[in-house]
Amino acid sequence: MKDDDSSLYPDELKNVKSYALALLHKADAVGQLPTPIDHIVKSANLYVNEGFELTTDYKKTFNIIAKIEKFARPNIHGVKKLLGLLHVPSGAILIDRLQHENKKKFIKLHESGHGFMPHQRKIYEIMEDGNLELDHDVDDLFEREANNFAAETLFQLDKYEKIAADYDISIKTPIELSRIFGSSAYASMRRYVQTHFSPIAMGVYNKEENNLKNHRFILRRAPMHSIEFLKNIGKLILPEICTTSDYLGKLMNTARLQTHHQCDMRDANKNNYNCSLQIFNNSYEIFIMIIPVKKTQVIVSNIHLVCI
C-alpha cells in the first residue's frame, strides 16, 4: 500500500497554486471546461511525444535516453513503471502510449509542472549542464509539487470544489465531474474527497486477477480523507486485503455503481457512526466512499470500520 504522494506544507502548496494559475492565464484557459490540456502544455513551451512504450520495453527506454541525452530526472529507478519523462533542453514530454487517455492528461500536466515551475526547471538545467544528482528529499518534494501542479491546473484551483458543492454528496458526483473536467475517475475522486466541505473518506482497491473464484482486492494506497473527516473523526482504517469470502469483498466483486449500502464506524473516541458506503467499480479500480450519516448507539450493519 502506497503512502500519500501529494502532501505539501501550506506555503509550498500556495506556491504551486500560483504557478498553476499563471499557466492557466498564459493559456487563456481559466474557466474553459474540459480543461484544454494540450493547449496548456503548448503554452508552457513544451510538446508531447506519445510514441513510446516506456512501461514495457526496458531496453527501448534506455535507447531513447541515450539518443536525446539526459532527462530531467537522469537517475531513473523502476523504469518498468515509467509513465512519463521530461527532456528539459528540448521541452519534450515523453508519454507511455499504453496508458489510458485520461491518465495521460495528468502525466502531461505533471511533467509540465517540472518544466514550468522556475525553481524546478532551473535545477534540472543545472543538472543537465553539470551532470549532478538530485538529492532524494528534493526529488521527492519536486514530485509532490508536480503532482499538485497537475491537479491544481486540471481542476482549475477551487473551481472543481465550487461546482461539486452544488451536487449531492455521492460517489456519482466525482464521476460526473470527471466528464466535465476531462479527468480520470481516480483524479476526480481524489479531488472530490480532499476538497469537500463534508466528512468523507475513500479507499481505492485493485483487483488481483487469478483463476480462482475467490478474488483478492488489494488496497492501492492509504485512505483519502476530507479535512472535516480528519478533524471530527480521525484516520480511517481499511483492510489492506479483501476477498470474495469477506462481506466487503463480495460487494466489490459484484458492484458497478452502488450507493445504497451501509456500514458502522467507530472513531478514536469510541463514538459510533452509521455511514453510507458507496462503491464504484470501473473494472480496474474499485472506489469505496464512506460518508458518515449520524451517530448511533447500535451496531447494525455487516461492515464495521474503525478510525484512529
What span, in angstroms and rounded, lies between the C-alpha atoms of 17 and 151? Answer: 10
Instruction: Please say which residue of 122, 154, 186 terminates a domain.
Output: 154
Residue 205 pLDDT = 96
From first to last of its 308 residues, the chain has per-residue pLDDT tens of 555 667 899 999 999 999 999 999 999 999 999 999 999 999 999 999 876 665 555 556 556 555 554 444 444 333 334 577 787 878 888 887 778 888 899 999 999 999 999 999 888 876 655 445 667 788 889 999 999 999 999 999 999 999 999 999 999 999 999 999 999 999 999 999 999 999 999 999 998 766 566 688 999 989 999 999 999 999 999 999 999 889 999 999 888 999 999 999 999 888 999 999 999 998 789 999 999 999 988 777 778 899 99
Residue 35 within any structural domain of the chain: yes
Looking at the structure, tell me whether residues 196 and 301 fall in a common domain: yes
Using DSSP bridges, classify how beta strands 201-208 and 286-295 pair: parallel, antiparallel or unpaired.
Answer: antiparallel
Residue 3 lies in a domain: no
Neighbours of 104 (CB within 10 A): 20
- Verify that 40 and 80 share a domain, yes or no: yes
User: Do 192 and 285 belong together in one domain?
Assistant: yes
Q: Do 164 and 208 fall within a single domain? A: yes
Residues 91 and 222 in one domain: no
Note the pLDDT of residue 65: 55
Domain CATH for 141: 1.10.10.2910
> Is residue 234 assigned to a domain?
yes
User: Is the same domain home to 203 and 231?
Assistant: yes
Question: CA-to-CA distance for 109 and 123, rounded, in angstroms?
Answer: 19
pLDDT at residue number 70: 47
**Domain end (from 129, 154, 179):** 154
Neighbouring residues of 118: CB distance < 8 A, sequence distance ≥ 6: 19
63, part of any domain: yes
Write out the residue range of the structural domain in which residue 25 sits.
10-154
In contact, 235 and 203? CB cutoff 8 Å:
no
Query: Same structural domain for residues 170 and 285?
Result: yes
CATH code, domain with 243: 3.30.450
Q: Contact at 8 Å (CB) between 151 and 5?
A: no
Query: Is residue 144 assigned to a domain?
Result: yes
- Total domain count for the chain? 2
191 falls within a domain:
yes
